Amino acid sequence: MITAERKPLEEILQSVSSFDRILIVGCNECVTVCAAGGRKEVGLLASALNMSMLKAGRPVQLTEHTLERQCDPEYVDELAQLVTGADAILSMACGCGVQELARRYRDKPVLPALNTKFMGAAERPGVWAERCAGCGNCVLGVTGGICPIARCSKRLMNGPCGGSGNGKCEISDEVDCAWQLIWDRLKALGKTDLYEQNMDAKDWRPAGGGGPRRIVREDLTE
């Protein structure tokens, strides 16, 4: 999923300071799962903003709404009426959702309430970690299901660097050395021969180095 965290309240307050009617829009997808921008978080932010504004002697009108998905036009369309009654939209989705709102409602300022972080998985309740860098050319099949691009600090493609010690990365004791994980996993699978295969220099064009990426599925286009 795409993970995100709420921006500091002070930054959000500053971004909406010139508006009297604010529509706060959450998303029921990834940001709900990572507890950053779902219905509950929309309620918490609305409550926090309401109290901050009351305290400052400048009460505002806050409307809460959470969409099934904020990055799809058909869901974003349902906001039309609520948007009419708002001076600005505060989006609690990832950057994709913010941009979809901005594309659909061109005459309204759309402001992000979250910082989008990474594509990750839950390690345990309340902890998410980066797992995929969206490089466009997956190598997990030869690295034992552990991504050296997302999980090695140097994105090394052929084994660890000299900073690997006791299974940890030199940047922090809390960061596993991805190549240690890969080696352990390949050993467990009896596939250490895969480790010996040198990978070519990575072509970063499918990873975004060739400009913004798109997927076109002709069978689904209208």
Partner 1 sequence: MAAPTPELEPVIVAFCCHYCAYTAADQAGAQRLEYPSNVKIVRVPCSGKVDALHMLRAFERGADGVLVAGCLEGDCHFSTGNLRARKKVAQVQRLLEEIGVGPERLELLLVSAGMGSNFARAAREITQKIRALGPSPISEAIAARAMNRA
Residues near partner 1, by CB under 8 A: 8-10, 40, 43-44, 47-48, 50-52, 54-55, 57, 59
Which is it for the CA torsion 77, 47, 61, 13, positive or negative? negative
| Cβ 67 vs Cβ 76: under 8 Å | yes
Q: How far apart are CA 199 and CA 20, in angstroms?
A: 56
- The 3-state secondary structure of 115-153 reads EEEEEEEEEECCEEEEEECCCCCCCCCCCCCCCHHHHCC
Distance of alpha carbon 168 from the chain centroid: 25
| Cβ 86 vs Cβ 108: under 8 Å | yes
Strand-pair partners of 65: 25
